[in-house]
Chains A and B, each alone.
Chain A
Amino acid sequence: MFYRENGQFKASYVEDQRIFKVQQDRVAIIAIVAIAALLVPMLASDYLLRALLIPFLILSLAAIGLNILVGYCGQISLGTGAFMAVGAYAAWNLGVRVPETPLLLQILAGGACATAIGVLFGIPSLRLRGLYLAVSTLAAQFFLDWAFLRIPALTNYSTSGSVSVGSLSFFGLPVESAAQKYLFCLGFVVVFAVIAKNLVRSGTGRQWMAIRDMDIAAGVIGIRPAYAKLTAFAVSSFIVGVAGALWGFVHLGAWEPLAFGLDRSFQLLFMIIIGGLGSIAGSFFGAAFIVLLPIVLTNVPELFGLPLSVDTAAHLEHVVFGALIVIFLIAEPHGLARLWSIGREKLRLWPFPY
């Protein structure tokens, strides 16, 4: 067994502040990113990339964004799908109206617009909590769904808000094949995962968590609740908006408002609950789980000679999600990420568990 902390002493606070404190963790993460960047695009089939890995990456990104708001800052949001839509439509609008805009800029501008809208709809959080805030973000979802469907100017007068993008390129490099699209998304995910991790381990993250855990005490030590909540809404919406733009541009290619409906908002919420609230790694676990579950549900029964119809599998999916969410909320609010860290803790101290 090679995974452990025994014998690794930190001689300075710099070392103790590293993103991944155990050396094996650092090595593992670098290895995962290297494999994801070098091996996966060579080995994975187009189907695997398009149907599984690209959605997984983009949903992980959106889940990181939502986790900052819900898991770290303790504010609930049922409007994630709508903020993704803002990112996608804003990026698309910029491309249509200023055709020369580079793809990267379009996507970041999508994030920026989502930030503005996110902060706007985050303002009620200064007064409302819990259920009331949930309802107000739900209103954001309905309003934005309606806006993209019914305000033609927002979608350049395309019928019922369905739009499409042409061929993509990133500073002269094509983003066309499955592998290219995959790498493009991977780049975003790695960069934003690092940024998110940096934020949550710094003063900003501590302010968010303080507001989440006990807002009166946070005020008493000088944290401004309005600032902490609105920065959480801003950062969260930016990442969610970027994820939305990627979902539209890279994964779908053509979409309508329904792609970012309430279902999407709930799906993302389920992801972070199952994956782990307040955990960046958990966002990945949750996304993987949600992407894989339907495939497992359609294929596993088949292996046992019990083929399920697509319909049944879809229903079963809901049942399984529902059950799991109840189980996680009751038994392990920190989700898969916690189960993982408990396992890791055991290894970490092995073989001397005292």
Chain B
Amino acid sequence: MNDMTQTLETPVAGRERIGGVILDLQNISLRFGGVKALTDISFDVREHEIRSIIGPNGAGKSSMLNVINGVYHPQEGRILFRGALREKMEPQVAAAQGIARTFQNIALFKGMTVLDNIMTGRNLKMKCNLFQHALFWGAAQKEEIAHRIKVEEVIDFLEIQSIRNTPVGRLPYGLQKRVELGRALAAEPELLLLDEPMAGMNVEEKQDMCRFILDVNDEYGTTIVLIEHDMGVVMDISDRVVVLDYGKKIGDGAPDEVKNNPDVIAAYLGTSH
């Protein structure tokens, strides 16, 4: 990571942990029928940074994440991930490349326990086949235990030991958000996309979530793209911020820069935030 820093054309001030560009989005446009969700948007994400996307509701933030992990396919633009041009692809391929995410409206597997939900995050790393699973003996059992140990690490990290065996549908909202983060972390992603992970949380829960995000970034070096409405949080923890409004990019840069950008101020004063 250090030699990468030296190759940077514009080193980000005072953050030598940050590496080169891992994800480069160029001139992305996405339409749904007549609705222009994203118009000609370009920005990049550097390795190990926390990159926030902000903007009023309907600005196209979630759509942007959906483009990054292959749920939506933009009509125009190029995406380079780790320097390679990405063809149109399914979300499974993005997952295999090390991109994990959480959703704005929690997308947990409601009928499964916390443990099973987080275990599904290990899915791509598990190699046994159906026949080995049917016998659940030898290799399959060994594999299950090896991954269970990893999952227990995630459970410890997120401090959710006591709800391990609870079906997620019975958990309060804040904990569900945490479990969803756990499922994404279990995949040991290189790039983690978080869609409003703190929405609807109280102050204490938000603080916990902030701490988890910073710890993940710090301990595992995971690159994070974060959508968040709480400006205090965004300005506190982001390395760089992209601002969207009506599907267009109106600001991009370090938190302080963005905060003083007149277009951004106008967009935010014009809405009820």
Chain A residues at the B interface, C-beta cutoff of 8 Å: 13-14, 16-17, 195, 198-199, 201-207, 209-210, 212-214, 216-224, 231, 235, 278
* Residues of chain A with a CB closer than 8 A to B95's CB: 219-222
- Using CB atoms, name the residue of chain B closest to A204: B133
Whether A220 touches B112, Cβ cut-off 8 Å, given contacts A14-B145, A17-B141, A202-B136, is no
One digit per residue, 1 when the CB lies within 8 angstroms of any chain A CB and 0 when it does not, for chain B 82-110 equals: 00000000111011100011010001111
Minimum distance in angstroms from B88 CB to a CB of chain A: 15
Contact of A198 with B136 in the complex, beta carbons under 8 Å: yes
Question: Does B124 count as interface, using CB distance less than 8 angstroms?
Answer: yes
B194 CB, nearest partner CB in chain A, Å: 13
Please give, as numbers and ranges, the residues of chain A lying within 8 Å of B134 by CB-CB distance.
195, 198-199, 204
Chain B residue nearest to A222 (CB atoms) is B95
Q: Are A209 and B133 in contact (CB under 8 A)?
A: no
Q: Does B224 contact A (CB under 8 A)?
A: no
6 extra A-B contacts, CB within 8 A, seeds A199-B134, A213-B108: A206-B119, A209-B111, A214-B110, A216-B107, A219-B71, A231-B130
Which DSSP category, helix, strand, loop or mixed, fits chain A's interface? helix
B136-165 CB mask vs A (1 if < 8 Å, else 0) is 100011001100110010000000000000
Contact present for A199 and B133 (CB under 8 Å): yes
In the complex formed, the residue of A with least CB distance to B137 is A198
Asked whether any CB of chain A lies closer than 8 Å to the CB of B135, the reply is yes
Listed by A's residue number, 27 A-B pairs whose Cβ atoms lie within 8 Å are A14-B141, A14-B145, A17-B145, A198-B133, A198-B134, A198-B136, A201-B136, A202-B144, A203-B126, A203-B133, A204-B134, A205-B133, A206-B123, A209-B111, A210-B120, A212-B109, A214-B108, A216-B71, A219-B90, A219-B92, A220-B71, A220-B95, A220-B101, A221-B95, A221-B184, A223-B120, A235-B130
In the assembled complex, B116 has its CB within 8 A of some CB on chain A = yes
Name B140's contact: one of A202, A223, A224 (CB within 8 Å). Answer: A202
Is the beta-carbon distance between A213 and B111 smaller than 8 angstroms?
A: yes
Total B residues in contact with A, Cβ cutoff 8 Å: 40
**Closest Cβ of chain B: how far from A236's Cβ, in Å?**
12
Give the residue of B91, B135, B145, B148 whose beta carbon is less than 8 angstroms from that of A219. Answer: B91
B residues adjacent to A (C-beta < 8 A): 69, 71, 90-92, 94-96, 100-101, 103, 107-112, 116, 119-121, 123-124, 126, 128, 130, 133-136, 140-141, 144-145, 148-149, 152, 183-184, 187
Taking the closest CB of chain A, its distance from the CB of B139, in whole angstroms, is 11
In the complex the two chains form, is B111's CB within 8 Å of A278's CB? yes
A203/B145 in contact, CB under 8 A: no
Q: What 4 pairs between A and B have smallest CB-CB spacing?
A: A222-B95, A217-B107, A213-B109, A202-B133
Chain A contacts for B184, CB-based, 8 A = 221
B23, chain A: closest CB distance, angstroms: 16
Nearest residue in A to B186 (C-beta to C-beta)? A221
**In the complex, are the beta carbons of A223 and B92 less than 8 A apart?**
yes
Measured in the bound complex, the distance between the Cα atoms of B140 and A201 in whole Å is 11
Min distance, Cβ A354 to any Cβ of chain B, angstroms: 13
Nearest CB in chain B to that of A277: its residue: B111
Question: In the complex the two chains form, what is the Cα distance from A209 to B90 in whole Å?
Answer: 20
